[in-house]
A = this chain, B = another copy of it.
């Protein structure tokens, strides 16, 4: 076929390298984080993620839809996920006054404690696996460039 393979001209424009970087960085760092959380806290990353979002929400509560919006999973997966975390006593569901369809997921004290225990190590893991691989200047650039992908938490105070 016409295209010559090994040449970087066709198969890899510059912006594609950026994407590949995101792809690989993500994969490697996620693995490290999961390894750490599982080994030290018996905590799946998905649990940690949910706990973290709740912990930084006002009143430590979020609706299912709010959770899934910001999150890496879909609504469907979230139901079971919250089930499991709930069974472990780290969150609980509460009805919402005024909308009988909705449910709030609330962080329990046990959940907050679990999260706080894991947080520092998680931070250290990200630092070691991710940010230590680049200069401050660079991570600032990366943060700025990818800022637009971050779903802002729009929370009415």
Q: Which of A21, A55, A150 has the most CB of B within 10 A?
A: A21
The count of identical subunits is 2
Q: A116 interface residue, CB < 8 Å from B?
A: yes
Of A1, A5, A15, the most chain B CB neighbours within 10 A belong to A15
Q: Is the CB of A116 within 8 A of B18?
A: no
Segment with Cβ contacts to B, from A83-91, A95-103, A136-144? A136-144
In the complex, what distance in Å separates the CA atom of A141 from the CA atom of B17?
Answer: 10
The answer on a CB contact under 8 Å between B28 and A136 is: no
Contacts of A18 in B (CB 8 A): 130-131, 139-140, 142-143, 146
For A146, give its contact among B21, B55, B56, B157 (CB under 8 Å): B21
For residue A15, which residue of chain B has the nearest CB?
A: B131
Q: How far, in whole Å, are A147 and B149 apart by their CA atoms in the complex?
A: 20
Interface size bracket, A side: 35 or more
Does any Cβ of B come within 8 Å of A110's Cβ?
Answer: no
Q: Which of A91-145 contact B (CB under 8 A)?
A: 112, 116, 123, 126-127, 130-131, 133-134, 136, 138-145
Is the C-beta of A20 less than 8 angstroms from some C-beta in chain B? Answer: yes
Q: Which of chain B's residues have a CB closer than 8 A to the CB of A16?
A: 123, 126, 131
Residues on A facing B (Cβ under 8 Å): 1, 5-6, 11, 14-29, 55-58, 72, 112, 116, 123, 126-127, 130-131, 133-134, 136, 138-151, 157
Q: Which 6 A-B pairs have the closest CB atoms?
A: A21-B146, A15-B131, A138-B145, A17-B143, A18-B143, A18-B139
